[in-house]
Chains A and B, each alone.
Chain A
């Protein structure tokens, strides 16, 4: 495959893979953070 085409395909797919993974991880980490905070609140009360 010509180098410019390789650059295009790997570049665009790389950016979208990173952002999709990041989106999923942010959602998961938010859930974890909220759960941890609730647990801490319960323990304090």
Chain B
């Protein structure tokens, strides 16, 4: 009998409580959404498994001991993984549409307006100023930037904000179209833009070099993200290091995605995740996303007031990053108004500019708050 009592004591059943079961349900819902619905499966699946693991009674997140704690500590707390993800994104990104139409850089800036709207919303709901900055950056729809900022300002918010950011990125086709239609007329959605010129190889090589110099000089706190982003892009555009470029795009990206996803999931134990504040984060995240979309479109309208060459205001909505989903949504909404209006490449300009804009906004938060 004593043997069985000892065996029972060595097992983990006694340490379970209702919160663990709720978190299992959440983890399994994420697994379902990733596998069955295809919602950002590359990240949602590892995050879901991390949630499941951390909500099983074990020492897996025990500081200085647990495996996932080590992934989290060296990967995210040291802010190593998000810049590595940016290296991969840079190696995947074609800046041709931005170089061909540099005005679209402003749209990438305009869409960051939602970040600051939400920042004040979070402050009004009682979050600390550091937490409010991390919640606000969800509006940039950029997972790695959200995680990077959280690691620096509010590590306790990392898991929740990362899940919110990736969830809303997956929901771009649901959230954005109603806002886009509300803020534009049919005639505005039909505006056709001049075809983009061909961009030469040398222009594409100059771009990452100039970008990293300008951004690092103005916002030194964005150097880690933008440095890696521009380096990745230079690997791609140089044309002489194809192996490095492909590694950054594929193997390295996949490896860091695994570590990022599972350790972000592991930051969500029941005692942290099951609090009323989480609902506030998700509500504010959707506000951030909607406000960023609206700000992007608003700036496009404003630019049309002062410009001879009109831009289709829908492309402003693509300034929220979420590459290339947001650009595809712009194209789809535009083609509903005019089937022959091909907006995809025009929307890619603000879309990739949005990635830069969000990283700069994060750098600005860091420079003021850290």
Residue ranges of A at the interface with B (Cβ–Cβ < 8 Å): 3-4, 6-8, 10-12, 14-23, 25-27, 29-30, 32-34, 36-37
Contacts and interface: CB of A to CB of B under 8 A. Distances in A.
Given A11-B116, A16-B106, A34 B218 contact: no
Closest 4 pairs (CB-CB, A-B): A33-B202, A19-B109, A29-B206, A11-B364
A33 B103 CA distance: 19
Contacts of B307: none
The SS class assigned to the B binding surface is helix
B342 interface: no
A36 B207 CA distance: 15
B119 A18 contact: no
A6 to B, nearest CB: 6
Contact of B120 (A4, A26, A27, A30): A4
Contact of B116 (A8, A17, A34): A8
A8 B108 CA distance: 17
Contacts of A29: 203, 206-207, 210
Contacts of B215: 18, 22
Contacts of A19: 105-106, 108-109, 353, 356-357, 360
B120 A8 contact: yes
Given A4-B123, A11-B116, A17 B218 contact: yes
B112 A15 contact: yes
Contacts of A27: 102
B46 interface: no
B102 A23 contact: yes
Contacts of A30: 99, 102, 199, 203, 206
B214 A12 contact: no
Contacts of B199: 30
A4 B116 CA distance: 10
A26 B112 contact: no
Interface of B: 98-99, 102-103, 105-106, 108-109, 112-113, 115-116, 119-120, 123, 129, 132-133, 199-200, 202-203, 205-207, 210-211, 214-215, 218-219, 353, 356-357, 360-361, 363-365, 367-369
A18 B202 contact: no
Contacts of A14: 218-219, 360-361, 363-364, 367
A26 B132 CA distance: 33
B200 A15 contact: no
B106 A7 contact: no
B214 to A, nearest CB: 5
16 contacts: A4-B129, A6-B368, A7-B129, A10-B367, A11-B112, A18-B214, A18-B215, A19-B109, A21-B214, A22-B211, A22-B356, A26-B105, A29-B207, A29-B210, A32-B206, A33-B206
A33 B96 CA distance: 14
Contacts of B356: 18-19, 22
Nearest to B362: A11
Given A6-B368, A37-B200, A15 B109 contact: yes
Nearest to B115: A11
B106 A23 contact: yes
A11 B219 CA distance: 10
A16 B119 CA distance: 18
A3 B115 CA distance: 16
Contacts of A33: 200, 202-203, 205-206
